[in-house]
Structure 1
Amino acid sequence: MAMHPRPASVYGLPTDIGAAHRGASMGPEALRVARLVEAIAKRGVDIRDEGNLGGPRNPLSKPVDGYRHLDEVVAWNRAAMSMSARILGEGRMPIMLGGDHCLAMGSITAVADHCRAIGKKLRVLWLDAHADFNTRDITPSGNLHGMPVACLCGLGPKELVGLGKHAPALRPDQIRQIGIRSVDAGEKRLVREYEIDIYDMRYIDEIGMRRVMEEVLDGVDADTHLHVSFDVDMLDPGIAPGTGTRVPGGVNYREAQLMMEMIADTGAMGSLDLVEVNPALDKRNATAKLAVDLVESLFGKSTLMRD
């Protein structure tokens, strides 16, 4: 689909406030070092780098009432929400560089408010090894990067569920999860109860990535805002070792390329999160470089002779 790409603005959230491992705080810089901004510009996109936002440091404290670092997580997510809202208000595409995946609560809440305000349909593609649908009652750790989807759907502390103008920010039927292969026992029950649409690795193996993406993108039209929330741990750790919660058996390079190209073909992507790149666990920044490569495909770079 030939269309002029919409302008975009990148911003970083250098924190690992919601994660178990330190180091995702270095993700935004690792992505810049891998020339993310230049790669997007090369696709003909008018792109600005807004730099990094600040927020509270990681106190490394134990969970309180089932949540670790709740006040700090709220502060970082408010920052993400207001920045994404500002960028959307300028008619641009927000690209949030994490940091850990708890930060998607802020970016997605801003997108959900924006879509309600302009009367657009919203579909969230959650690309991840994990369903991130924990609550304080079932979490094994209290780490909030395991809870953002639950919070966005109304299950969580009121400070996070009520971040935006509407609570909950999302309905479960607006979410498609792809690449899932690690779900806690309590989470399994909840995602079934909430009828979250999950395309796990077994399903991808059974029917193939092309048919999975056809199902995921079914009904996406000119009136749809696609939000892509890309956790690099969706990818197989053999190609993306630089992330804190590695799970074997993930999406391979060719599957990931096809996924991104099919998303690009819709012309509907309106916002993007790129999270959980942890250069402290990486080999020569390979994970950030691979993420940049895949983002180029999201912006229309084809691996084939179709350009």
Structure 2
Amino acid sequence: MNRKKISIIGVPSDYGQQRRGVDMGPSAMRYAGAIERLEKLGYDVVDEGNVSVRKLEKSKRNDHKLLNLEEVLDVSEQLAKKVDEVIEQGRFPVILGGDHSISIGSIAGIRKHYQNLGVIWFDAHTDINTPETTPSGNIHGMPLAINLGLGDERLINIAKGAPFLKFENVVIIGARSIDEGERELIKNKKIKIFTMHEIDRMGMSKVIEETVAYLKARQVDGVHISIDLDALDPIYTPGVGTPVPGGITYRESHLAMEMLEEAKIITSCEFVEVNPILDERNKTADTAVALMGSLLGEKLV
């Protein structure tokens, strides 16, 4: 894939949770200068527009207690197809959410192109719930599990024939709000995780060094990074739906992006959970775009 060619894909969906406003995230990040920032770095940037999201006046649950399952499925199928097309064209996908349920579709489309895909999950939450463990029914708490092959059959079969993620190819960074069922799954499957405890003790530099070494040792043939803006402390990203105090600092997050860029392992990325309704003067979208710049080669000097 030619990293000088980038495709921006917007996914204005808020169906994975119950707090309105995150559907405006793609517009907020575009307004914050995402395209201009990447063009300034020398990329050939194509804005592919937004995935079509039908409007639903009121959230609804299906028989399995999952919130807006049909709507999430529709968005996920469209996004998987679009991401698949972009990668086929040799372009690097930069996906703008939307709540974190969009990762069901984004990673499904990416999985079609890799046999041993690695994933870095940069998030305050682990998003590895299943219909059996979810305390809320919110699908934005399930996308990682679904791409590992766990969960509702319709959702896990979006990318038919594509290999599921391997548990040993996932690294979670920044977690500090983990449900009981998620904790058990992480422990049983020995998923690599750096909680805020590890970040505080080790420092972000060591965390990223170990993450890169870990994924390289597993001989991954691509690495997708999914960046939920609630990974950062709410001081820096107030415009998120599920803020958790005690998060990653602004500089720690930039250091992480800069080191990952230096490692040259990232093959696709997404930025999710920017909610302009809850934000302060588009601060969270500005931060997302700044991190995007660091991840894709922006230097301080």
TM-score clears 0.5: yes
SS at match of 2:67: coil
Q: Distance in 2 between matches of 1:168 and 1:206?
A: 35
Structure 2 partner of 1:102: 101
Indicate if the aligned counterparts of 2:17 and 2:67 stay in contact, CA closer than 8 A.
no
Q: Distance in 1 between matches of 2:40 and 2:161?
A: 37
**AA of the residue aligned to 2:202:** I
Q: Distance in 2 between matches of 1:251 and 1:139?
A: 25
Q: Distance in 2 between matches of 1:143 and 1:155?
A: 15
Give the TM-score, by structure 2 length: 0.95
Q: Give the alignment partner of residue 277 of structure 2, picking from 277, 280, 298.
A: 280
Q: Give the alignment partner of residue 180 of structure 1, picking from 166, 172, 175.
A: 175
| Deviation of the 1:55 alpha carbon | 2.5
Structure 1 partner of 2:250: 253
| Deviation of the 1:152 alpha carbon | 0.9
Q: Give the alignment partner of residue 8 of structure 1, picking from 1, 6, 9.
A: 6
SS at match of 1:73: helix
Structure 1 partner of 2:122: 127
- CA spacing shift, 1:168–1:74, aligned 2, 3 Å: farther
Q: Which moved more, 1:203-212 or 1:185-194?
A: 185-194
| Deviation of the 1:190 alpha carbon | 1.4
**AA of the residue aligned to 1:40:** L
Indicate if the aligned counterparts of 1:124 and 1:226 stay in contact, CA closer than 8 A.
yes
Structure 2 partner of 1:192: 187
Identity across the alignment (%): 41
RMSD: 1.6
Q: Distance in 1 between matches of 2:132 and 2:117?
A: 29
Q: Distance in 1 between matches of 2:114 and 2:39?
A: 26
Structure 1 partner of 2:110: 111
Indicate if the aligned counterparts of 2:224 and 2:266 stay in contact, CA closer than 8 A.
yes
| Deviation of the 1:168 alpha carbon | 5.8
1:63-212 → structure 2 map (5 Å cutoff): 64-116=63-115, 121-166=116-161, 169-212=164-207
Q: Which moved more, 1:187-196 or 1:227-236?
A: 187-196
**AA of the residue aligned to 2:4:** R
| Deviation of the 1:268 alpha carbon | 2.3
Does 2:274 align with 1:294? no
4+ long deviations beyond 4 Å: 219-223
| Deviation of the 1:219 alpha carbon | 5.2
Q: Distance in 2 between matches of 1:223 and 1:140?
A: 33
| Deviation of the 1:270 alpha carbon | 1.2
| Deviation of the 1:278 alpha carbon | 0.3
Q: Distance in 2 between matches of 1:183 and 1:300?
A: 32
Q: Distance in 1 between matches of 2:197 and 2:220?
A: 31
1:231-250 → structure 2 map (5 Å cutoff): 231-250=228-247
SS at match of 1:31: helix
Indicate if the aligned counterparts of 1:18 and 1:145 stay in contact, CA closer than 8 A.
yes
Q: Distance in 2 between matches of 1:200 and 1:223?
A: 23
Does 2:56 align with 1:61? no
Q: Which moved more, 1:227-236 or 1:64-73?
A: 64-73
**AA of the residue aligned to 2:257:** M
Q: Distance in 1 between matches of 2:277 and 2:258?
A: 29
Give the TM-score, by structure 1 length: 0.93
Q: Distance in 2 between matches of 1:231 and 1:271?
A: 14
Indicate if the aligned counterparts of 1:84 and 1:111 stay in contact, CA closer than 8 A.
yes
**AA of the residue aligned to 1:123:** G
Segments of 5+ residues of structure 1 without an aligned counterpart are none
Q: How many residues matched?
A: 297
| Deviation of the 1:66 alpha carbon | 2.3
| Deviation of the 1:226 alpha carbon | 1.6
Structure 2 partner of 1:271: 268
Q: Distance in 2 between matches of 1:197 and 1:223?
A: 15
Indicate if the aligned counterparts of 1:161 and 1:168 stay in contact, CA closer than 8 A.
no
Indicate if the aligned counterparts of 1:97 and 1:273 stay in contact, CA closer than 8 A.
yes
